[in-house]
Amino acid sequence: GQQVMQIPQYQHVQEGEDFTTYCNSSTTLSNIQWYKQRPGGHPVFLIQLVKSGEVKKQKRLTFQFGEAKKNSSLHITATQTTDVGTYFCASNSGGYQKVTFGTGTKLQVIP
Amino acid sequence: GAVVSQHPSWVICKSGTSVKIECRSLDFQATTMFWYRQFPKQSLMLMATSNEGSKATYEQGVEKDKFLINHASLTLSTLTVTSAHPEDSSFYICSAPRWSGGEQYFGPGTRLTVT
């Protein structure tokens, strides 16, 4: 079945440094979604990418979908303590209903 | 944005008892809802797809008779953990998409502890 790996598993950064998490799939993805889960909370939707090579920005966050639609990245510029949490990529499959989550990257920001 | 609620938010039960968890979409109708479990420091593992008006679709390795799912209406799905054991202790989260292929709206989760 579809497996989506994320690297790194954990990342500690100093506040103000940049952060990037990568999502890789062995199969072509129909889309890519990114979610953020704060400690003790539930995942919250950030964005969805559909087109090959698509790039979207949300303030300090930049999301990219690879040309082959097998990988994606989330880049945060000048991290802040509010960015702390686990970032998951996810993708639809099974008739566009089922969502498979990546392994997640836990971000710690040191003030 | 869309709101999904879950009840209870946490529950402690004794081994051998059953626990029911409710998931409601508050401001939209959801013909499909999803149930996940999440162990500490791990990702969300899809357990089953709850379909309104038909049987749930379970992922490989998930016992149908242990995790009973009922999608009673377009806004309510329930997960019943039957004959709970300590290894069933986990964080259970439901989600629902507004439309097929759209983003998932997650409930706040239910932390189950089986003693």
pLDDT in tens, B44-72: 999 999 988 889 999 999 999 999 999 98
pLDDT band of A94, cuts 50, 70, 90: low
Which one of A78-82, B31-35, B97-101 scores highest in mean pLDDT?
A: A78-82
The residue ranking higher by pLDDT, B2 or B68, is B68
Q: Work out the mean pLDDT of chain A and round it to a whole number.
A: 92
Contact of A102 with chain B, judged by CB distance below 8 Å, is answered with yes
Q: Is the pLDDT of residue A78 over 60?
A: yes
CA A105 to chain centroid = 8
In angstroms, the CA B22 to CA B4 distance is: 10
Segment B34-51 shows an average pLDDT of 92
Q: Domain of residue A71: give its range.
A: 4-110
CATH number at residue A58: 2.60.40.10
CA B78 to chain centroid = 7
In angstroms, the CA A72 to CA A32 distance is: 7
Q: Report yes or no: B71 and B55 within 8 Å, Cβ to Cβ.
A: no
Report the Cα–Cα distance between both ends of chain A, in Å, rounded. Answer: 40
pLDDT > 70 fraction of chain B, expressed in percent and rounded: 97
Q: Which residue of B has its CA nearest to A100?
A: B46
Are A48 and B102 an interchain contact pair (Cβ–Cβ within 8 Å)? yes
Which helix (DSSP H) or strand (DSSP E) does residue A28 occupy?
A: none
Are B101 and A96 an interchain contact pair (Cβ–Cβ within 8 Å)? yes
Are A31 and B44 an interchain contact pair (Cβ–Cβ within 8 Å)? no
pLDDT in tens, A64-73: 999 999 999 9
Q: Return the exposure string of B75-84: e unless at least 16 CB atoms fall within 10 Å of the residue's CB, then b.
A: bbbbbebeeb
Tell me which residue in A42, A92, A97 faces B49 most closely, judged by beta carbons: A97
CA A107 to chain centroid = 11
Choose from A44, A98, A99 for mutation: most chain B CBs within 10 A: A99
Contact of A56 with chain B, judged by CB distance below 8 Å, is answered with no
Instruction: Compute how many other C-beta atoms are within 10 angstroms of the C-beta atom of residue B73.
Output: 13
Number of domains, chain A: 1
